[in-house]
Amino acid sequence: MKIYVIKKIALLILLLFGITLITFTLTKALPGDPVYNMVGERSSPEIIEKIRKEIGADKGIMRQYIGYVSLLAKGEMGRSYHTNRKVLDDIIMKFPNTLKLAAGAMLIAVPFGVLFGFISALKKNMMIDRFITGMSIAGLSIPVFWSGLMLMLFFSLKLKLLPPSGTGDISYLLLPSITLSLPAMATLVRVTRVTVLDVMNMPFIKTARAKGISERSLNMIHIMKNALIPIITVIGLEFGSYLNGAVLTETIFGWDGIGRFTMEGIIKRDYPVIMGCIIVGTLVVVLINFLVDIIYHYIDPRVRIHGTDR
């Protein structure tokens, strides 16, 4: 277990180096100059030169990269070209908001997704199964930014029950969370259905039935427990899609989180912001995968973590 953790951390550091190096060179080597975006294309050459010196854009790429990494080592991420605020401070301020949104979406998606998927598998090929599968395909096909706008139109503008946009308490959180949870829920329904059907065909279920176990404990203990692992994997993997969805949902609902921050950074070519968000995003995805591995270890004794598997 210890070796596994050490190995994972080493891999994470390597991954971060790789990702920062790639994004860094990509953002620097390609057309589009942040300085023009900062001061406008019609400024005098002297001002442009001065700002270029200020942000260090006059040095070579390698020296800039080394400068950035040593800044990271000091626990800093530099300042935004536009607001001149510390990127790390902004991320620390906005990250809890995105986390709240993702947690809210998960609280809706996980229980309903697993429940509907389970029902769908138990009632295979019956009306209710057809209905649930159909709804889940629809859920995967509706764009998040449109379903969000429709929810906003209905609940905020027509019924005036919830505030249409902004960052704040639970009433602000509800609509974006529902919006974000829809595609995740649809995926979970499909995965749960397939896994439960797989498990139901296994010989030990027949054995359990033959022993005369009640249908209820068969469902709860034998099927659910064995179907849990793929489901947890998907819940973990879906976290990346929450980050995807967060970009759109946060843009629509004016939610002040990382997704919108990244988006604005990218559009304004605010490199310190882009780099900071990419690093945080990678960290989150890797950490979640790590957590999923650990949870495996505890819920399924067949999975042993030696550091060599995977």
Partner 1 sequence: MGLTGKISAGIIATIFFLSLFSSFIIPYDPETIELDSLRQPPSLKHPLGTDNKGRDILARVLYGGKISISVSVFAAFLSMGIGLLIGLLSGYFGGKTDMFFMSLVDLVLSFPALLLAVGVSVIFPPGIYTVMIALSSVGWASFARLIRGHVLTLRESSFIEAAKAVGCSHARILSVHLFPQCIPIAFVMTGLKLGGYILTEAALSFLGLGAQPPTATWGSMISANRVFISSAPWMVFSPGVMIAITALCFNLLGDDLREKYDIEKYSIRL
Summarize as ranges the residues that interact with partner 1 (CB under 8 A).
Answer: 15, 18-19, 23, 26, 30-32, 137-138, 140-146, 149-150, 152-153, 157, 240-241, 243-244, 247-248, 251-252, 262-263, 266-267, 269, 274, 278, 281-282, 285-286
The residue (of 150 and 202) whose beta carbon lies closer to partner 1 is 150
Q: Work out how close the CB of 5 gets to partner 1 at its nearest, in angstroms, rounded to a whole number.
A: 19
Q: Find all residues with CB under 8 Å of 171, minimum gap 6, and list them.
A: 162, 163
Q: What's the distance, Cα to Cα, between the start and end of the chain in Å? A: 14
**Which residue type is seen at 175?**
L
Least distance in angstroms from the C-beta of 218 to partner 1? 26
CB 170, min distance to partner 1, A: 23
Distance of alpha carbon 275 from alpha carbon 266, whole angstroms: 10
Which residue, 146 or 204, is less far from partner 1 as judged by CB? 146
Query: Which CB sits closer to partner 1, 175 or 222?
Result: 175
Nearer to partner 1 among residue 223 and residue 274 (C-beta): 274
Please report how close the Cβ of residue 163 comes to partner 1 at its closest, in angstroms. Answer: 13
Count of Cβ atoms closer than 10 Å to residue 78 Cβ = 19
At closest approach, how far in Å is the CB of 302 from partner 1? 18
Of the pair 114, 275, the CB lying nearest partner 1 is at 275
Considering just the CA atoms, what is the radius of gyration of the chain in Å?
A: 24
When the beta carbons of 205 and 263 are compared against partner 1, the nearer one is 263
**Shortest Å distance, C-beta 27 to partner 1:** 8
Which lies closer to partner 1 via its Cβ, residue 190 or residue 222?
Answer: 190
DSSP 79: B
CA distance 239 to 115: 19
Smallest distance, partner 1 to C-beta of residue 183, A: 9
149/245 Cα distance (integer angstroms): 14
* Rounded Cα distance, 310 and 302, in Å: 14
